[in-house]
Amino acid sequence: MDELIINGEDLTFEQVLAVAYGTPGEPLVVLSGAAKSKVGRCAEAVQKLLDRGEIAYGITTGFGAFKDKIISVDEAATLQRNIVLSHAVGVGDAFDIPTVRAIMLIRANTLARGFSGITVDTLELILELLNRGIHPVIPEKGSLGASGDLAPLAHFACVLIGEGKAEYEGRTGRSRTYARAAQSERGSRVDERNDSDDRRRDSRNGEGDPSRGGSRHRRVPLA
């Protein structure tokens, strides 16, 4: 299996195992065209709520007991960041890498159904991290009860906003370094001249620059 196309509908247990225990990028996990359309439409709906100044729970209001607290549009992004950071309070040993890769894939597949309001860019960043073997450090112990995944997923989400820690090729460091490398690879492919420069650098140093277009298994420097 060279490529796994997810759409939020038919991910199998065998496919999860293949990604969890396989080499990053083998198979390459990508989002289906139909899923992109669904995710994009939902993200647009959220943006329209903000543009119209409508009150929507968890978007322009607080959470739980603070549901009646109205959040201005200017503060909406800060609210989302704060809710992630406030839940990233897990403890204990970190999950092993196959477990983290399974978490990443299953969450991406769930988000691919197009009901969450996530943007296509953010969802594709999750897949880029997965395919490049950049793994959030997620503590084993966290939330309990019906929302038992809140703390683990908050640690996962921290990596997407440059917070928390991540693992890459057996090394653990600040996630900002790793996420920046993945965003660079996803956002703009290098031109032929830069690619040639990277190959020359790889041949001299035995490794590549993660923010450029070299080898998938190049070293990512710790900031």
Taking phi over 0 as left and psi of -120 to 50 as alpha, with beta for the rest, 92 belongs to left
Question: Which of 21, 57, 168, 178 is the catalytic position?
Answer: 57
Task: Answer yes or no: 168 catalytic.
Answer: no
The DSSP element (H or E) to which 188 belongs, if any, is none
Is residue 18 packed enough to be buried (19+ CB in 10 Å), middle (13-18) or exposed (0-12)?
A: middle
Helix (H) or strand (E) segment spanning residue 65: none
CA–CA distance, 190 with 141 (Å, rounded to integer): 40
- The residues with which 61 forms a beta bridge, in sequence order, are 70
Give 106-111 contacts, CB < 8 A, sequence gap 24+.
Answer: 106/11, 106/16, 107/153, 107/156, 108/6, 108/29, 108/31, 109/6, 109/7, 109/8, 109/11, 110/8, 111/8, 111/39
Contact 21, 98 (CB under 8 A): yes
Q: What is the Cα–Cα distance from 118 to 69, expressed in whole angstroms?
A: 23
**Cα–Cα distances in Å, from 80 out to 24, 116, 117, 155?**
29, 13, 12, 14
- Active site members: 57
